[in-house]
Amino acid sequence: MAIGLAVQKYRTTILDQDLDGSSIPKMLGVMEKKMDIGENGLIPVEGPLGIQVVAMANLVQKERAVVWFHDMRRNASEEFIAHTSYGERDFLVVDLPPGTSSDVVSVLQLIPDADGMVVVAVPSRVSQMTARKAILLGKKAGIRLLGVIENMSGYVCECCGFVDDVFPVGGGYDLAKEQDIPFLGRIPIDGKLARSCDSGKPFVEAFGESATAKSIESITKGILHQISTDRPYGFQEWENQQEGGQF
């Protein structure tokens, strides 16, 4: 999603808030870069297309396992959000761990004026249980729910491009309908996407014409549309807008 924004010339920063499993630097090919400390705080590392990356993996050695307790976690979140020299940016994308951990709560408290929250779920009912709790937390915190993305929804054949529903699909759609928030779209399992993440090469940029990249592009446009209109959508209203091609 951050790459999709950067491709459209938005000045984008991504904050990897998964303190235990920081993976964004690997996915963006900046694992070996380290953040410095300047006069105004931490200095993000620069990734592809000018994306700024702020992540624990760019502070500690990758062989080191860091044990975090609650106060330490909150302090780290505060350092990343309040004591980092971001400069002038268009978007700050925060990648949160699953569920309703203290890390998620800390971000909601430290960024009270966020434009919104996107919930990612896989089609299984087990995933929906965790995603539902995240949605309920967002509603309780008063943050705008921009919608649900159904990840790993079908499998893309690399030979012919056919998308086969090898697993049950529709769980994310059902969850969005149940919670009356927009369903943003589906992203299938795609071997090229997995290899791009492992190699640190942005998938959306490298395979922009693929069906998977088009799906990510459509999701990004949906999020941008909502932010630009600055008003919440219910599930059915969002479906009607998409069917009518209104954005």
Q: Cα–Cα distance between 49 and 244 in angstroms, integer?
A: 33
Structure confidence at residue 168 (pLDDT): 75
- Residue whose tokens read 């062989």: 63
The Cα–Cα gap between 171 and 151 comes to 10
The per-residue pLDDT for 177 is 95
Q: Are 187 and 151 in contact (CB under 8 A)?
A: yes
Q: Domain locations in the chain?
A: 1-112, 115-247
Q: Hey, what are 128's tokens?
A: 């929906």
Q: Do domains 1-112 and 115-247 have the same CATH topology?
A: yes
| CATH no. of 115-247 | 3.40.50.300
Give the end-to-end CA distance of the chain in Å, rounded to a whole number: 18
Amino acid at 203: F
Q: Running along the chain, 247 residues long, what does each successive block of 10 average in pLDDT?
A: 92 92 91 91 94 90 64 87 94 90 88 93 84 93 94 84 79 93 93 88 85 91 91 92 74
CB 150 within 8 A of CB 184: no
Whether this model's pTM surpasses 0.85? yes
What is the CATH code of the structural domain delimited by 1-112? 3.40.50.300
